[in-house]
């Protein structure tokens, strides 16, 4: 039986999958190869890059696309050598030679490279070894180098420069075409050279690149094709709402689609009953387990939040502010990581709702564990959640402790009040409901939706956060309109507008207030809270 793949490249006999070459413009890709181009394929981790490269290798070696010989090599092992260029080059050459032997039955490079490395040194060994290898066989060589951006400092620069130096000799005396594959585009590399004590741009070290291709996420049709394979093989169906939930939660990120499917259909005992359809609730439960378990993919992404260039982009999104100190390079980097997507106008946003959950919960996890209040304090005898009581308790807590607690968010001080509120709410809601989050850069707000299960139905409460940057009444009027619009969109029964006033010259007596506003015609009531 096949299953959903969440580790490593696709194996068609073992995994449900979308054929990797169906996800790229194959005609364009083969055109670059035939035209002797050196180019880049990049995408976030766990998107399917390696699977695409392996499928391209097999296609080229089959003869269906021309008389090529093609070798794929993953050079990540050389990362461990850091900036020891000699040992790094040894690891790279050894890996390419091994793959040539395994894939093509060609031991020529294995026989060549040790002597070349000894005679020419690490600064010339890759170039000379590839030159001699290509001269030994008239068929054009295509070299696919995976994980290129894991190489460090002078080792990476040496590889890029030797490939650039050999480029004019292709195709008879150097690879006909080379594909560099990694998370980032080579133009975005900022490589620190110890030898030069300077930063070197990847684009300058590899200025022979003709094009950069980015492997995208699944389309809705590809996602449904993947999930339908499970139905075809097991008979277990997905409800339409479940399919919509997979798409809405993952936005087509391939690892997330597979992880939700695997968690719902294989890891969950209820989901292993093939006579039972997978529901939207199963998908949401799978999402929560993924977030809490923090599998490697999610953990690696969350750990990037510590980097300043990531913080410069993420913090204004979390705070909903329009002020930002990022550069275009910062946005390109975090987009390449897959943590943000870009709107049509280039505005960054958190890439999907699962990441929108992962980010604040990673940042506020330690704070959440240290907070005093628990769910039972705000649940009435009928199992209902006392949202006004919860916010009132947070208001008191914020007044007494905010200066101390906000500082716990390390570099994310500007988003500290919003993160503290979310930690407080998460602490209470865990086990009885969930929180949905929406961030809108430049909107001046963060939208939260509490979904609470009670008596077989789901109750909805909207909480909107704004930071006071101008006249208080204007901020409240604007926030009320936004909150009511969000209530209408979500079908919530009530709403709460929280206004954080961070002005140091205002007293807590001026900042703290509660204002109940009447419900509009056919609308829900909104309570305004000052903090």
Whether the Cβ atoms of residue 29 and residue 60 lie closer than 8 Å to each other: no
- Predicted pLDDT of residue 85: 96
In percent, the amount of the chain with pLDDT more than 70 equals: 97
Mean of pLDDT over the chain: 91
130 or 472, which is more confident: 130
- Predicted pLDDT of residue 110: 97
Least confidently predicted of 221-225, 334-338, 361-365: 361-365
193: left (phi over 0), alpha (psi -120 to 50) or beta: beta
Residue 354 banded pLDDT, cuts 50, 70, 90? very high
Quick: pLDDT tens for 51-93.
Answer: 999 999 999 999 999 999 999 999 999 999 999 999 999 999 9
Whether the Cβ atoms of residue 447 and residue 430 lie closer than 8 Å to each other: no
Indicate the SS3 state at residue 198: strand
pLDDT of 4 strictly over 80: yes
Quick: pLDDT tens for 92-126.
Answer: 999 999 999 999 999 999 999 999 999 999 999 99
Domains of the chain: 20-214 (3.40.50.300), 220-293 (1.10.8), 299-530 (no CATH)
Residue 342 banded pLDDT, cuts 50, 70, 90? very high
Residues pairing with 340 in the sheet: 350
Question: What gap in Å lies between CA 359 and CA 437, rounded to an integer?
Answer: 11
Of 373, 415, 366, 364, which Cα lies nearest the Cα of 394?
Answer: 373
Residue 371 banded pLDDT, cuts 50, 70, 90? confident
Quick: pLDDT tens for 383-440.
Answer: 889 999 999 999 998 998 887 777 777 688 888 899 999 988 888 787 678 899 988 7
pTM of the model: 0.90
Runs of H (alpha helix) within 235-352: 240-250, 254-262, 280-293, 296-303, 308-319, 328-337
The H or E element containing residue 401 is helix 387-406
Structure tokens given for 336: 């390449």
pLDDT of 481 strictly over 60: yes
pLDDT of 45 strictly over 70: yes
Checking DSSP bridges between strand 212-214 and strand 198-201, what pairing results, if any?
A: unpaired
Quick: pLDDT tens for 512-530.
Answer: 999 998 876 567 899 999 9
Quick: pLDDT tens for 271-296.
Answer: 999 999 999 999 999 999 999 888 88
- Predicted pLDDT of residue 524: 87
Question: What gap in Å lies between CA 52 and CA 206, rounded to an integer?
Answer: 23
Neighbour-count burial for 378-415, b at 16+ CB within 10 Å, e otherwise: bbeeeeebebbebbebbbebbeeebeebbebbebbebb
Quick: pLDDT tens for 163-211.
Answer: 999 999 999 999 999 999 999 888 778 777 787 777 777 777 788 888 9
């Amino acid at each position: 039986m096949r299953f959903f793949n969440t580790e490593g490249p696709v194996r068609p006999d073992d995994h449900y999958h979308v054929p990797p070459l169906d996800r790229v413009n194959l005609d364009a890709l083969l055109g670059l190869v035939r035209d002797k181009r050196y180019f880049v394929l990049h995408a976030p981790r766990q998107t399917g890059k390696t699977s695409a490269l392996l499928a391209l290798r097999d296609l080229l070696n089959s003869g269906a696309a021309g008389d090529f010989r093609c070798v794929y090599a993953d050079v990540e092992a050389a990362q461990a050598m850091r900036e020891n260029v000699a040992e790094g080059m040894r690891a790279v050459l050894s890996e390419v030679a091994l793959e040539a032997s395994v894939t093509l039955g060609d031991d020529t490079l294995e026989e060549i490279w040790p002597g070349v490395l000894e005679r020419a040194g690490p600064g010339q060994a890759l170039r000379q070894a590839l030159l001699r290898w290509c001269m030994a066989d008239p068929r054009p060589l295509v070299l696919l180098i995976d994980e290129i951006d894991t190489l460090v400092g002078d080792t990476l620069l040496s590889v890029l420069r030797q490939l650039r130096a050999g480029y004019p000799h292709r195709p008879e005396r150097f690879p006909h075409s080379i594909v560099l594959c990694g998370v980032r585009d080579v133009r975005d590399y900022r490589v620190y050279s110890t030898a030069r004590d300077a930063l070197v741009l990847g684009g300058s070290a590899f200025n022979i690149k003709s094009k950069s291709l980015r492997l995208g996420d699944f389309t809705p049709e590809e996602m449904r094709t993947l999930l339908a394979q499970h139905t075809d093989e097991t008979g277990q169906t997905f409800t339409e709402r479940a399919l919509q939930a997979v798409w809405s939660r993952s936005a087509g990120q391939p690892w997330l689609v597979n992880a939700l499917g695997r968690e719902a259909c294989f890891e969950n005992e209820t989901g292993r009953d093939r006579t039972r359809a997978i529901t939207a609730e199963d998908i949401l439960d799978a999402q929560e387990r993924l977030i809490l378990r923090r599998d490697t993919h999610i953990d690696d992404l969350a750990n990037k939040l510590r980097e300043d260039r990531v913080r410069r982009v993420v913090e204004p999104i979390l705070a909903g502010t329009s002020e930002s100190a990022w550069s275009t390079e910062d946005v390109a980097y975090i987009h390449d990581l897959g943590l943000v997507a870009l709107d049509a106008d280039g505005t960054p946003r958190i890439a999907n709702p699962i990441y929108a959950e992962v980010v604040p919960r990673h940042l506020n996890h330690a704070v959440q564990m240290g907070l005093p209040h628990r769910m039972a304090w705000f649940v009435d005898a009928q199992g209902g959640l006392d949202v006004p009581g919860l916010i009132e308790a947070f208001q008191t807590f914020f007044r007494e402790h905010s200066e101390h607690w906000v500082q716990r968010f390390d570099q994310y001080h500007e988003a500290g009040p919003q993160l503290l509120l979310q930690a407080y709410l998460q602490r209470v809601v865990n086990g009885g409901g969930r929180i949905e989050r929406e961030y809108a850069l430049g909107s001046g707000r963060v939208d939260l939706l509490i979904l609470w299960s009670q008596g077989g139905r789901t109750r909805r409460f909207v909480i909107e956060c704004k930071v006071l940057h101008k006249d208080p009444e204007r901020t409240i009027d604007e926030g009320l309109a936004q909150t009511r619009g969000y209530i209408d969109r979500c079908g919530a029964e009530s709403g709460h507008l929280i206004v954080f006033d961070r002005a140091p010259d205002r007293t807590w007596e001026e900042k703290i207030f509660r204002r109940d506003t009447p419900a509009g015609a056919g609308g829900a009531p909104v309570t305004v809270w000052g903090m």
